[in-house]
Amino acid sequence: MKRPSDDPASCASCHGGIAKTYKLSLHYSTAGMKSGVRPRFSAAEAKTYDAAVFEQSCRSCHASCGDCHVKSPVVSGVNLGLMAGHKFVRKDESKTCALCHGGRVYPEFTGEYGGNPDVHYQKGMSCVDCHKGSELHASLGAQADRRSVPDKPSCAACHPAGSEKTDKAKEAHADHGDKVSCSACHASSSYRGCASCHLGEGATSSPQFVIGENPRKPGQITTLRLVPTVRDTFKKAGIAQGNYDALPNFWDTVPHNTRKRTDRTRDCGSCHAEQANFLSEEGLPSGGSEANKRLIFKFSY
């Protein structure tokens, strides 16, 4: 057997609860790769996508129990082998999460991309201090996409309003409430965005920093990430994406490079005067979705 723990059933006899719910998780179903593009397709296209693209291409990235607990997953030929002999480990983020999320999140978190390390990494925290077993096992039920994961971490749960030590922080938070996301002020530097994804050829990734309307939370501005689906991404599979303009090309993201002080916490004028890094007409990808325009934020004054 290549991946003995690929089938959760092999663990089910003893970890029945986890094995059952894990199948509902995004890591197992990779449903996020379905829900993230589905609305761009006609009904017929959606069928082709499910059979020809999703099952063939996307599903192959799913995580087995062992990818987080037994054997480091093999990614781009890097194989770190068994962790802690052949025993099960509860967690070992630098050998598990890091390999699959090594293109973006992990190196952002540790500062290896040359940016500033996340303050939580600095304080000795790692992935599982925020992303609990229950989130990753889908213990609370089926996960359709990242947004609807019920026990995903939230900044405010650990840093409730009113707990600030300084007036400066208290006032900045009180002035903005839910109108500006935590990341819009506390993401320290550029994070990875992708462009020009073509089926079978991959996408190009480059650093970016974009602030605009949150497509999933109207009335809030946040950090946005360019996600790679372009008009002809699925051309090879015969999918024209008839409803391409239904979804924007930018999605809200929480860059894992949080710092207490950033260009924006130091200078309110960075947003209020210069609107630095704000999404603008000129910043839209050419040939992109019409829906991108809705994400451009302008101050009313």
Per the structure block, which two tokens stand in for 49? Answer: 């996508």
Task: Please state the closest distance from residue 107 (CB atom) to another protein, in A.
Answer: 12
116 binds, among ligand HEC, another protein, none (CB under 5 to 8 A by kind): another protein
Of the CA atoms within 13 Å of residue 210, those in its CB half-sphere come to 29
DSSP string covering 164-209 = -SSHHHHHHHHHHTTTB-HHHHHB-S-EEEEEEEETTTEEEEEEE-
Secondary structure percentages of the chain, helix, strand, coil, to 5: 40, 10, 50
Near ligand HEC by CB under 6 A, which window of 13-21, 47-55, 193-201, 285-293? 13-21
85 touches another protein by CB under 8 A: no
**Contact with another protein (CB under 8 A): which of 10, 48, 189, 275?**
189
Mask: binding to ligand HEC, 238-277, rule CB under 6 A, as x and -?
Answer: ---------------xx-x-x-xx--xx--x-xxx-----
206 touches another protein by CB under 8 A: no
182 touches ligand HEC by CB under 6 A: yes
CA distance 94 to 76: 16
Site for another protein in 103-122 (CB under 8 A): 111, 114-117, 121-122
113 touches ligand HEC by CB under 6 A: no
Burial class (CB in 10 A: 0-12, 13-18, 19+), 300: exposed
Q: Which helix (H) or strand (E) holds 26?
A: helix 26-29
Q: Which residues pair with 141 in a beta bridge?
A: none
144 touches ligand HEC by CB under 6 A: no
117 binds, among ligand HEC, another protein, none (CB under 5 to 8 A by kind): another protein
Query: Which residue, 290, 12, 293, is CA-closest to 137?
Result: 12
22 binds, among another protein, ligand HEC, none (CB under 5 to 8 A by kind): ligand HEC
Which residues of this chain interact with another protein, rule CB under 8 A? Answer: 94, 111, 114-117, 121-124, 126, 189, 260-261
